Amino acid sequence: MTLLPITLFGDKILRKKTSKVTEVDNKTIELIRDMFATMRNAKGIGLAASQVGVDKQIFVIDVSGVEGYEEIKPMTIINPKIINKSEKTNKIEEGCLSIPDIRAEIERPAEVTLIYQDVDLKEHTVKVSEVLARVVQHEYDHLQGILFIDYLSGEEKKELKKDLENIKKRKMEVDYPVSEAAH
């Protein structure tokens, strides 16, 4: 397995709507394995393909390290569609491997229903809540070119401007491989 460099704020692919997966070949399986290894190495609980520079509608999740979610098996989500969001919302602090050292309270629906395909391109429908719903929405947003900081107010974004510029210029330290500075 290979640790892939994680794309950082400022990389164009993070703002791109990703492409649908039409076949899962050995290269795709290898990508998924590498994404799991990369996510775990970076101590993340979710990772989208665009975060490793790949234009595909794939994300991986492993919340088994989160208290109360130890029984939840790692998931590979391909071509997802959120088909329902609860009226009830919750506000939880979020972070992102592509935006290191920045965390913010983000309000999102507490429950979502997701249709997705697995590695055999078999369709599944699942209703998730709490932490799992949060991670699913965060990673789903990545596939749409949306970052969690997009939910912040203008004032909150202004406060982060300097930190975001430093991330763009790679003037921050992380203990995982990252993409080269965007030009």
**What is the distance between the alpha carbons of residues 170 and 54, in angstroms, rounded to a whole number?**
20
| Backbone φ and ψ of 79, nearest 5° | 50, 50
User: 12-168 has which fold?
Assistant: Peptide Deformylase (3.90.45)
Which pLDDT does position 1 carry in this prediction? 87
Q: What is the pTM of this model?
A: 0.96
**What is the distance between the alpha carbons of residues 79 and 83, in angstroms, rounded to a whole number?**
13
Give tens-digit pLDDT for 25-48. 999 999 999 999 999 999 999 999
Instruction: Give 171's contacts (C-beta < 8 A, 6+ positions apart).
Output: none
**What is the distance between the alpha carbons of residues 108 and 155, in angstroms, rounded to a whole number?**
19
| pLDDT above 70 as % of the chain | 99
Q: Which amino acid is at 124?
A: H
- How do the domains of the chain map onto residue ranges? 12-168
Catalytic one of 23, 70, 139, 159: 139
Give tens-digit pLDDT for 122-152. 999 999 999 999 999 999 999 999 999 999 9
**What is the distance between the alpha carbons of residues 174 and 100, in angstroms, rounded to a whole number?**
7
Cross-strand bridge partners of residue 46: 61
139 included as an active-site residue: yes
- Give the chain's end-to-end CA distance (angstroms, integer): 29
